[in-house]
Chain A
Amino acid sequence: MVLKIFFPQCCNRAESGLLVGRWISGHDSAVVLAVIHYPFIPGQVKQYIQQMQAQSGVELTVLGSWSLPKEGQESMESFLRDLSTIFPQQRWLQVSRQMGKMGFICEVVNRNQTALAPPILLTKKQNEEEEEKVIFVHYEQRKVMLSQLHPTESGDPDPNTEPSSELKQVFQTVARSQPLFFLDRYDDGPLKSTHWQSEGREASIIVELLKQASVPLCMLISWLLALWTWISVSSVSCRIFSLYPLRFLSSKLSTCVQISYRTEHMRTLSSPKPAAGHKQFMRKGNILVSFLVDVGLGILLMSWLYRDDHIATLANMLMPAADHVAKELEELLQWLMGAPAGLKMNRALDQVLGRFFLYHIHLWISYIHLMSPFIEGILWYGGLSVCLGLTFALSLLSDMVALLTFHIYCFYVYGARLYCLKIYGLSSLWRLFRGKKWNVLRQRVDSCSYDVDQLFIGTLLFTILLFLLPTTALYYLVFTLLRLVVVLFQGILHLSVDFINSFPLFAMGLRIFRPYRLAEGVKFQVLCDEPGTALHLLMEINPLKCSTVVQTYRTPTYSCYPRDSWAALVKKLFVGELIYPWRHKSTKAD
C-alpha cells in the first residue's frame, strides 16, 4: 500500500516539532494540520489535543515528528525515536527535511507488537521486507478550509456520518478543525505551533460591528413583516376583501405576485437562526445580494424618472398613444368589414361582428378619456414603488400594459369563444354524419342510429356552420395575432423580472473573486521527484464551472416549473382555447 500524507504548505519551513493531525481510517492516509514546536511538555500537548478534539469533533492525534535541522545543529535521531514511546500510536511518522534540499524524507515506524520487540529493530526489519511508499500531497490550508466540495450531500447533511470519498474526508477534517487554527503566533501559551493563521484581525472589527448591527435590523424587519402579514390576513378575513373578484385580481396582477414573493424572501432573510448548512447559507446570500442589486437599480431608475419631470412627459405621451392604437384598430376593423385580402366573406355576419367590435372600441376610448386627468397622479404615486426595486417597476409596467390593452384582450376572448363554439359544433355534427355520437357517461365515441329528421337538421346546421366558419376564423386570426404581440411583450417583462429574482449573484461573485470557495474537485501537479525522497504532489482546487453554479444555486421561482410546450400552445390556438401570459392557478399554487 502507498501511504498518503496531506501536508499543509505553510508548515514547509516550520521549525522542528510534533506533527498534529488525523489518520483517515480505511484509506491509509494522514492529514497533517499543525506542527507543535520544541520545547514542550508532553502532558500539556496531550491535554491541548484533547481540548481541541472536544471543541472540533475531529479525532486529533500526534502523527509523528518533524525535523528541519538548522545549520550547525546535530541531528536528533535517537531523541525522535524516543518520542514515539511517549505518544503511543499504531504508526509513527518521522518526517525530516534537510536545508537546501527540496524533498522530504519519511520513515514509518510500525508498532504492532510493542510488547514483544523494541520498535527500532522492528522498523529496520520491516523496511527491508516491504518498502513502504509515501506520497506527500501539499495543500493550501486556508483554501481547503474555506472551500466547499461539490456535489454537496442532498438533504440534511449529518455531521456525524463520514463521507465515503477520501477527498471529502480530507476537506471535512480541515474545515472542522478550525479551533486549532485560533492559536496565534504571538500568543503567550505554553505551546507554540505553526499552521495557517488569519492575518486580518483588524478588519474583523468591522465585521463584528456589522454582525452586532444585523441582529436589531433583522428583528425590525421581522416585526415589519409580521405587521404586514397581519394586515393582509385581516383584510382577507374582512368580508369586503375576501370577495372573489379581488382575490382573483390580486393573483393575476404581477405586482401583487412580486410583493408576495418579496415578502417570502424577506422572511427567509430575517429569520434569527443562523443558516444551517452550506445550501441554506448560499440561498440567503443570493437573496440578499439580488435584493440589494434590485433596489439599487430601482433607485437609479427613480432618480432618472423624478429628476426632469419625466413622469409628466410619460403621462402626456400615454394618451395619444392609446388614441393612436384605437385608431389603428378601427381602421383594421373597417378593412375586415370590407373584403379583406380579396376574400369574400359572409356579409351579414361580417357587418354584425365589425359593428360589435367598433362599439367596444368606442366604449374603451371614452373610458380612457374619462381617466386621463388622473393618469399623471397614478403614475407619480405608482412610481414611488420603484424604490422597492427594479422588479417592482417592471411588474408595474406589465400590469399597466395589461390594463391599457384590455380591449385587445376582450376582442380576443370574443373571437376565440365564437371560433371555439363553431369548431366544437362542426366536430360533433361530423360525428353525426358518420353515424356516431359522443357518449358522455363512458367518455368515448359510440355508434348510434339517427332518424332521417335528425340527419336532415344536422346536415343543415353543418352546412351553415361550415360556410360561416371562414368569417369567424378571420376575425379570430387577426385578434389572436394582436393578442400574441401583447403576450410576448408581457412575457419578456416577466422573464426579466424572473431573471433578477432568481439569478445567483452571490454564488457567481464567489466563483469569480474567490474561485476556491466553490470546488468541483481537485487537481494534482507533480512537484519534484528527486531520487531518494518521497513523491511530492501539489493539490490545487478545481473551481466549479459557471453553468453548474447557476444550475445549483438559482433561487427557485415560478418560471422554473415546466411551461406549456410549443406543440400544446399551437394546439390550443387551433382549437380556440384561451391562452394567458400568467399560469393557471392550479399549477401556480405551489
Chain B
Amino acid sequence: MEDEAFTDISGKPISLDCQSHSSFCREFIISSPKVSMGKVMVYTCSVWLLAYAVFFFTQNTAVLSGAILVTLVGMMLHIHFVKVDHESLLVIGSLGIQVSSSYASGREITTFIEMSKIKDIVINEAIYMHQIIYYLCVLLKDPSEPDAVSSVVPLFQSSKPRLNCLVKVYKSCQEILSKCQ
C-alpha cells in the first residue's frame, strides 16, 4: 500500500493510492483535491452580493430568500452530481475490471466489465479543448468478431491524471492481465 502525489492535466495535485490485495488483484484509487473553502466563499458571496444589489433597487425581499435557496440547492447539486471525490479501478485477474467513481455526497457509480469482454487496456491520446491529453482506456471486444474493438471505456474521466501517473497504473494492470491470459 503506497500513496504518491501526482498532478492532473491542469496542474492540481492528486494522489494515487495503489493497494495490492493479492498477486492478481490490485486496486488503484485516484483522489481529487477536496472543495476549497475559499472557492465556496467566493461563489456564495458573489451570489449574495448580486442578490443584495437587486434588492437595493427593487426593494423585494423575495430576491434575498431566493438567493439563499439558490446557493443551498446549487451546493447540494454540485456535491451530488458534479464533484467527484475519488475514482477507483479494481483489476481482478481472470474475473474482470471494476470501475467506480464516488461523488462528494457519497453517491457511487460502479460498472463491472467481465474479462471475456475485455480486449486490452491501453493509453490513448485525445484532443481536449486546446491541448492533447493522454488517458487510460479499456478496449472492449465484440463477442461475434473477437479481433475487432467494439467500444472504448475511458478511465479516470473526471480526475484526468498526467502521463506519469497513467504509466504506473498501466504497467501494473498489464502485469496482471498478462499473468492471467
A residues apposed to B, CB below 8 Å: 1-2, 4, 27-28, 133, 135, 137, 164-167, 521-524, 526, 529, 535, 537, 542
Contact = CB atoms under 8 A, between A and B. Distances in A.
Contacts of B116: 27, 164-166
A167 B92 CA distance: 14
Contacts of B172: none
A542 B110 contact: yes
| Main secondary structure on B side of the interface with A | strand
B112 A4 contact: no
Interface in B62-114: 90, 92-95, 98, 100, 110-112, 114
Given A2-B93, A2-B95, A2-B180, A524 B112 contact: yes
B21 A1 contact: no
A523 B92 CA distance: 12
B143 interface: yes
Contacts of B143: 164
B36 interface: no
B94 A523 contact: no
A522 B92 CA distance: 14
A27 B111 CA distance: 21
A535 B111 CA distance: 21
A542 B110 CA distance: 8
Given A2-B93, A521-B112, A542-B110, A526 B180 contact: no
Contact of A133 (B24, B110, B114, B115): B24
A535 B21 contact: yes
Contacts of A542: 110-112
Nearest to A526: B21
Closest 9 CB pairs of A and B: A523-B110, A2-B94, A535-B22, A529-B21, A521-B112, A526-B21, A2-B93, A522-B112, A535-B25
A526 B112 CA distance: 14
B27 A523 contact: no
A36 B38 CA distance: 63
Interface of B: 21-25, 27, 90, 92-95, 98, 100, 110-112, 114-117, 143, 180
A133 B112 contact: no
Contact of A524 (B23, B90, B117): B90
Contacts of A28: 94
Nearest to A534: B22
Contacts of A1: 94, 180
Contacts of A167: 114
A523 B100 contact: yes
A237 B119 CA distance: 63
Contact of B114 (A135, A165, A529): A165
B24 A2 contact: yes
A137 B117 CA distance: 19
A166 B110 contact: no
Contacts of A135: 25, 92, 95
| Main secondary structure on A side of the interface with B | strand
A538 to B, nearest CB: 12
A194 B180 CA distance: 33
Contacts of B180: 1-2
A259 B172 CA distance: 64
Contacts, number: 55
Contacts of A522: 112
B98 A523 contact: yes
Given A1-B180, A535-B21, A523 B95 contact: no
Nearest to B25: A535
B94 to A, nearest CB: 4
A529 B22 contact: yes
Contacts of B94: 1-2, 4, 28
Contact of A526 (B23, B25, B100, B111): B25
A521 B22 contact: no
B93 A521 contact: no
A526 B111 CA distance: 15
Contacts of A164: 116, 143
Contacts of A529: 21-22
A164 B117 CA distance: 10
B64 to A, nearest CB: 35
21 contacts: A2-B24, A28-B94, A133-B22, A133-B23, A133-B24, A135-B25, A135-B95, A165-B117, A166-B115, A521-B111, A521-B112, A522-B112, A524-B92, A524-B95, A524-B98, A524-B112, A526-B25, A526-B90, A535-B21, A535-B24, A537-B95
Nearest to B113: A521
B47 to A, nearest CB: 31
Contacts of A524: 90, 92, 95, 98, 112
Nearest to A542: B110
A537 B112 contact: no
A537 B110 contact: no
The interface centre, meaning the residue of A2, A137, A542 with most chain B CB atoms within 10 A of its CB, is A2
A165 B95 CA distance: 11
A17 to B, nearest CB: 27
A528 to B, nearest CB: 9
Contacts of A137: 95
A305 B116 CA distance: 61
B27 A526 contact: yes
B93 to A, nearest CB: 5
Contacts of B93: 2, 133
B95 A4 contact: yes
Contacts of A27: 116
Nearest to A137: B95
Contacts of B24: 2, 133, 535
Nearest to A523: B110
A423 to B, nearest CB: 49
A167 B112 CA distance: 11
A522 B90 CA distance: 13
The interface centre, meaning the residue of B111, B112, B115, B180 with most chain A CB atoms within 10 A of its CB, is B112
Contacts of B111: 521, 542
B146 to A, nearest CB: 11
Contacts of A133: 22-24, 93
A166 B143 CA distance: 13
A524 B92 CA distance: 10
Nearest to A537: B92
Contacts of A165: 114, 116-117
